[in-house]
Amino acid sequence: MLADRLVAHRGYPKHYPENTLLGMAAAIDAGAHFIETDILFSADQQPVLYHDNLMTRISGEENAVHLLTLDELVSRSAHEPERLGDQFINQTITPLCDLVSLLEEHPEVTAFIEMKRSGLHIVGLEAAYDIVSKILTPVRDQCVLISFSDEFIDYAHQQGFPRLGLVLKDWEERQGNLMQRIQPEFIFCDTDKVPEGSSMDEITPTWVIYEVEDPDQAIAWFDRGADMVETFDIGGLLENLAHRAL
């Protein structure tokens, strides 16, 4: 099924602010079965859906996520003013618990929860895991923890989190010790990290290639062995690929 091969990267940023409940819900309404979000922490160590440490691009203010409490953050805008103007000015920062509620309404949807290294550095691996895993408990089986931090994924594996994904920093990591030890369910890899002519059929985890918007590019990656592609335009890609032979 086509929807099982596409991941809505940060929700539906093609038309909505990234990493917002609005964008996540719109992605699901467009047909997404897989969504992805970034996690940072507030000053009182509560997880929110947010990509940048500094709030200028997403919220239009000179501040930092980790300097504000959760109560302060959920009153702040997440409307991406430079990119989207004032169209979504009333859209506020989304706490992780709100995404959990959305997932409870859509048991067919899987969420990739990316733990940003900057947030882990501030809160600490163990505390970050404890906080996030507790919040995700009602939808634990619908969630996959991913991160550029190998240390965090290794720790999550040690704690028995059931679904994990590694994000490759370089191509050689696909055969590294951590890969062999934890046997992640998913591997995320940037299009720029895959050498020309290389195949993704040599190891068993599900390959997710990012960032892809063009349908011809998506098909080309599927032909090279990618199992899934991640896109900012989930609705557009679903529509454009619907009648293509995959």
Give the three-class secondary structure for 48.
Answer: strand
**Residue 200 has what pLDDT?**
82
Q: What does the domain layout of the chain look like in residue ranges?
A: 2-39+97-241
Whether the predicted pLDDT of 245 surpasses 70: no
For 7, the token pair is 């991941």
d(CA 66, CA 81): 21
Q: Is the pTM of this model over 0.85?
A: yes
* Average of per-residue pLDDT values in the chain: 95
Confidence band for 246, pLDDT divided at 50, 70 and 90: low
Amino acid (1-letter code) at residue 217: Q
The long-range contacts involving 207-214, CB below 8 angstroms and separated by at least 24 positions, are 208/7, 208/112, 208/165, 210/7, 210/9, 211/9, 212/237, 213/14, 213/237
Query: What is the rounded distance in angstroms from the CA atom of residue 215 to the CA atom of residue 37?
Result: 22
Topology of domain 2-39+97-241, per CATH? TIM Barrel (3.20.20)
State the amino acid at position 65 in one-letter form: V
* The Cα angle at residue 187 between residues 244 and 48, in degrees rounded to 5: 100
- How large is the average pLDDT for residues 189-211? 89
Nearest Cα to Cα of residue 55 among 36, 35, 40: 40
Query: Amino acid letter at 242?
Result: A
Instruction: Kindly report, residue by residue over 121-144, the tens digit of the pLDDT.
Output: 999 999 999 999 999 999 999 999
Q: Is 49 helix (H, G, I), strand (E, B) or coil?
A: strand
